[in-house]
Structure 1
């Protein structure tokens, strides 16, 4: 990996750039990036889905979060790149490191198309304070990458109204109303999930996220979609045009921005639009920096989407339960590995006619691999699954009827007492969060305690959020809501009826094992004589592993919650299983 790093440093010297920043990002702020945008991976060799590389002439560091510490340590060995463990004592933020390292007169560089405008402003202010300069106009990695993959242009397709719940025409009308309410004439959208939701448009330009690379400009008079024409069939184009959506070249968004008229008012979200796009807008244009109105609308699933999601989770529950039976009976068999188990689970999902694709790369982790929070097996790391210890399976699917995400940790043999203590504590946190009742307006940070308290009581914790929002046949990780006690800066979005959020406490012991238990929760109204409160409906339908539970550790209330959930799972899933598997499920969901 020294060659790309040295080539980058040579190009930095050529342009008099003293520090170059490479985030994990595309032009749209997507969580996962296509091969064309894998610049950080190309230079560093680190393959995780989150991280930022900062390169100086004689020093380089990679910042990533707790999900990837073990993976990054292994992949950065010998690269000359130092791992900077985000959030750990003594580890500065990237901006803090730049403040202490960038000298007056030096230049910080990055590709402004891949850095959001709000972050770009902070870098601009930082360099100005330091007497340094900023250059966001150079894609240096693109200049040194000889065989860079092209931009993806997979076929675009339209989500039927029966699945979307609202027509494209109605969604455009609603968002135009939001635009008028803000006193703006133009809405600029660059987030692919927002564009996909608004137009009922889907595609295949990002792995595990069925979206189309595109920008969008909406006015009261029209809607311009900046995308690659090769991705659109005549039928899709005709349907879009019938609702007033006109296709323009993908790169044309910058010319459009430069031609915005002085005196116009443009609504955009500087957390989402890129530095390059924002700086393309003339200074005489008035900006309304607001969250995209589509963000909250797509987070709150409409009644049709909610009904569809229940069907998606039924189908997913059948696949997951069949997999649980299969892996617990096949553990230790010749040829059973993490990858072959992932293939079998995918086959179970593909039995449903509405299934489309995984919602993220499957995490099938045996033994100490389960301690790596986001481990995903590869041919190089694949290992047999023995009839002992834990197997952690974190997987999900995209269906026409919605998106799923579920984690189960299976006992494949005898467990130690401590393993059962930890499994039961994680389960207690999952049950407590699912049982929470709270007033409207409550943010996820308030609820996080419910999931962590059983672990905190034992001096344990987990280094990731407890819950993330989930899209509808879009991204499996969506905001604006979340459940985490370390809430991101700024005002939190309260949970609201119709939002789908994950519930995934866990515990991990490096070099030992990991446990995570995840269900998806639908926020619902709870009506009391004293007023309206909110709570959750659990969508996921597959058993927890009673072989890993210490019943004496559960309170009567916890036993009642677990037994009720397992009764629901059995009633829903058993009629769809072969007789032998249905009989096993009756035992697997037996009351404790």
Structure 2
């Protein structure tokens, strides 16, 4: 594999020389700036061998580097070994930005290449401005992988399918009306939507174009009188065509988007410059004024309607039942000594697939035993898959797609004897999890304002984690969705009732262990006082939290009460759907501490 990587980079360098370019930047995304992409656009993975979902490769005529965040430091170091690609640990003070590194590597007057379809408007504009003083030009016209990637996977061709209103809660035509009202209030005539989860939500359509993410490769252009849907025509069945017609949506070919934008006959077009690719932006009719701002769809989608909330609760029960069956099986299977990180993933899939409305995983399961748990987004392979033993921690991060909701849960499970260090770290992470789960906050609060609650117990012992504490989750959509989040860096989006957000503090110690505890939470109204309206989190995930790693003396009475109340809720909600033996097992795992 390493030899293939070296050969691929050599092919790219040869092409760059032919095109008069001195460097090329390869991101992890697609023309819709997605986090997870179809195989056709996995160019960064193909050129580097690095399989993480986030990272950017830069290739010059004599050097190559990969920039990725803390979730992937250990994984990237392993996968880049002997590839000739240097790992740059993004986010650390000593790590140069890509533009600063390139500025030191390129000479005045040289040219840098990017594919303009793979970068946002903001990214390209920032890049061009940063190189202006050095007279380094940025060429956005080249997609080298069409030329050097032999047997490149085709674009997805699976058909789209209708997402019924009984799950979505609101018909597509009504959603389009809501968005048009938002557009009118913003004083814009048209809206370009390229974010795939927003399009799927708007049209009540789903697909299989991206693994684990039921989206459809497409664009959407909404004006006062028209709603144009750009999609490969072979992806539409007669049923879907009739449905779209009933929702007053016009079908156009995916490849026509730039041509239509170039002839757009409206005075104003709203785009999100952080979510729209530079190539499409550059195609817009110059007579049309571009208004930059957030898509009104993002917030409408993030706040769950009543039917979606009913679905979330139902999906959590079925997911919890599958997890209880799996955990009971795991407890028996591990002492036998034949189970691995890969085999338990297959078993968990079996239990989930047996549940009603199951449509697949919401992301690739992370099953990291002992030191593998410290690799935040670890992915077991036949070569790396560890045999599980009755000792240490197993970190299991998994999720499912059901027609009525998307799940995402992490449990760190004691398989046997634990060290004192493991117990301390586990209890501190649990304290952070409970702090988020129990916090109350006034209207106007953003995720960054409460993130410290999850970290405080760790900070007091000189520890930290570098990923966010919480992300939004879609509704039978993408497992990572905004616009809300809980993280250190400020995202100017308020936490509002109906938002579904994860709660997942952790701690990771290379070569030793990783610990993370994750539930999904709904923002709910709590009380209104003379100081305004206050909100709280309702934990909706239903699965026992391992108690074997807890040092009870490190928990306050309030924290113990929360855990006991949560476990009683888990038992009450799940036991009616379990056999007598399974229910008895769950009772032992949810007994008050």
TM range (shorter): over 0.9
Q: Which residue of 1 aligns with 2:312?
A: 309
Q: Secondary structure at the match of 1:450?
A: helix
Q: Which residue of 2 aligns with 1:64?
A: 68
Show CA shifts across 1:485-531 (max 9, x none): 133xxx51011111011000111110111110000010011114433
Report the more deviating stretch, 384-393 or 96-105: 96-105
Q: Which residue of 1 aligns with 2:123?
A: 119
Q: Which residue of 2 aligns with 1:559?
A: 560
Q: Which residue of 1 aligns with 2:33?
A: 29
Structure-to-structure mapping, 1:160-179, within 5 angstroms: 160-179=164-183
Is the 1:323–1:348 Cα contact (8 Å) retained in structure 2?
A: yes
Q: Which residue of 1 aligns with 2:475?
A: 472
Tell me the TM-score normalised to structure 2 length: 0.98
Is the 2:337–2:389 Cα contact (8 Å) retained in structure 1?
A: no
Q: Does 1:399 align with 2:402?
A: yes
Cα distance in 2 for partners of 1:291, 1:529 equals 32
Q: Which residue of 2 aligns with 1:326?
A: 329
Q: Does 1:203 align with 2:203?
A: no
Deviation at 1:197, TM superposition (A): 0.5
Is the 2:325–2:351 Cα contact (8 Å) retained in structure 1?
A: yes
Is the 1:360–1:397 Cα contact (8 Å) retained in structure 2?
A: yes
Q: 2:466 aligns with which of 463, 468, 484?
A: 463
Show CA shifts across 1:400-437 (max 9, x none): 11101000010010111221111111111101100000
Deviation at 1:538, TM superposition (A): 0.2
Q: Does 1:389 align with 2:392?
A: yes
Cα distance in 2 for partners of 1:333, 1:294 equals 51
Cα distance in 1 for partners of 2:100, 2:580 equals 61
Q: Secondary structure at the match of 2:221?
A: strand
Cα distance in 1 for partners of 2:287, 2:306 equals 43
Structure-to-structure mapping, 1:356-375, within 5 angstroms: 356-375=359-378
Show CA shifts across 1:433-468 (max 9, x none): 000001111110111111111111111111211000
Q: 1:450 aligns with which of 453, 460, 483?
A: 453
Show CA shifts across 1:177-205 (max 9, x none): 11222222221110000100000010000
Cα distance in 1 for partners of 2:83, 2:133 equals 32
Structure 1 residue ranges without an equivalent (≥5): none
Is the 1:108–1:127 Cα contact (8 Å) retained in structure 2?
A: no
Q: Secondary structure at the match of 2:16?
A: helix
Structure-to-structure mapping, 1:562-577, within 5 angstroms: 562-577=563-578
Is the 2:27–2:56 Cα contact (8 Å) retained in structure 1?
A: yes
Alignment RMSD (CA, Å): 1.1
Cα distance in 1 for partners of 2:262, 2:107 equals 33
Cα distance in 2 for partners of 1:545, 1:242 equals 50
Q: Which residue of 1 aligns with 2:439?
A: 436
Q: Secondary structure at the match of 1:567?
A: helix
Cα distance in 1 for partners of 2:586, 2:162 equals 38
Cα distance in 1 for partners of 2:23, 2:210 equals 29
Q: Which residue of 1 aligns with 2:161?
A: 157
Q: Which residue of 2 aligns with 1:426?
A: 429
Report the more deviating stretch, 305-314 or 523-532: 523-532
Cα distance in 2 for partners of 1:498, 1:95 equals 39
Is the 1:504–1:516 Cα contact (8 Å) retained in structure 2?
A: yes
Cα distance in 2 for partners of 1:306, 1:353 equals 17
Q: Which residue of 2 aligns with 1:288?
A: 291
Tell me the TM-score normalised to structure 1 length: 0.98
Cα distance in 2 for partners of 1:113, 1:89 equals 30
Is the 1:153–1:213 Cα contact (8 Å) retained in structure 2?
A: no
Structure 2 residue ranges without an equivalent (≥5): none
Q: Which residue of 2 aligns with 1:4?
A: 8
Cα distance in 1 for partners of 2:463, 2:326 equals 30
Q: Which residue of 2 aligns with 1:588?
A: 589
Q: Does 1:506 align with 2:506?
A: yes
**Stretches (4+) displaced over 4 A:** none
Q: Which residue of 2 aligns with 1:231?
A: 235
Q: Does 1:54 align with 2:55?
A: no
Deviation at 1:290, TM superposition (A): 1.0
Structure-to-structure mapping, 1:518-557, within 5 angstroms: 518-530=518-530, 531-557=532-558
Cα distance in 1 for partners of 2:244, 2:313 equals 29
Q: Secondary structure at the match of 1:546?
A: coil
Show CA shifts across 1:214-268 (max 9, x none): 001111211111111111110011000111112111111010111123x621111
Cα distance in 1 for partners of 2:254, 2:586 equals 51
